Amino acid sequence: MKTVKLITRPDDTSLNKTHVICKDIALSICSEIEGGAAIGLTKFFYCREAVIGYFTRFFNKLFDDEYLKTELLYNTNGSLGREDYALYKHKDMPKRKTSVAMHVNIGKKTKEYIDSVDKSARRAIKLLNHYERRNKWLLSKVYKTDHDASKVNVIYLFEGSKWWMTSTHTLSLYLLLIRLGRYEHFDKIKKSTPNSEVLSLLGMIREGQRDEAYVSKRQPKKWNILFDNIKKIYGEGPHEENFSLPTRLDAKTDGITSLCSNIACNKSVRKIFAKLCKAANLR
């Protein structure tokens, strides 16, 4: 596995809290890898939809230059600040590759910890590549990182197809698949593993966060509907409206669970997807 340089957010204090013991997976959206290095565009979040909502602000038309300069630039109460404004230049990200950093902070960097995160990253790639082969997309890659965060942090960087950047729903699913790499039974996935078997492996999940347990129900079958009809649902894209926020300054955005639950905030997408699921007898 190759190593790339990762420049993390200097204001991300969560990366330096070595006393925090948390085996959950934190995620950050990054710039494309250029010259062997990538830049962290967001802080690390444990909530997928929070990191997407935070990132979406960088290129959503609601946050034009004048609005950023006046209302948000000096707002220190959870809104965009000076550093975020500097990152606004990355607002063309939906047209580029997907790049996501992953780390698990368990308080102390040991060989057991490093091996555990490494295996999780490799399983995540198996899951991502399965769906990418199915869709005939560019296969994601994973890299170790030489980063500037605390020495206790082991961070991996995933780089994938721009198709994952089609919408908040597809990006949310990308992050979810990375997170599901924690489950050891995904080691069984090979290039020749059929989708039906992967659905069975997903159905074995009985623990973890609410959305991880939810995949044991019917959601993965709806993912197939999404992949098979991505242009029909979103158009040729990417379109800015596919990265809409529920409210102007919402901390979160709607992800794959919202889409599969028929509560996506984009009415057009919600209607088309619901019709396709109904035709496939998926409610």
Q: Give dist(CA 180, CA 42) in Å, integer.
A: 21
Tens of pLDDT, residue by residue over 196-238, are: 999 999 988 876 555 677 676 778 999 999 999 999 999 876 5
List CB contacts of 127: < 8 A, sequence separation 6 or more: 177, 180, 181, 186, 189, 198
Note the pLDDT tens digit of each residue in 143-175: 999 988 877 778 999 999 888 988 889 999 999
Q: What is the pLDDT of residue 54?
A: 74
Place of tokens 């902070």: 105
pLDDT of 276 reads: 97
64 contacts: CB under 8 Å, gap ≥ 6: none
pLDDT of residue 72: 47
pLDDT score at 189: 96
User: In the chain, which residues have pLDDT < 50?
Assistant: 19, 66-67, 70-78, 80, 82-83, 86, 248-249
- Rounded to two decimals, what is the model's pTM? 0.86
100: nearest Cα among 171, 180, 9: 171
pLDDT for position 242: 78
Domain residue extents for the chain? 3-217
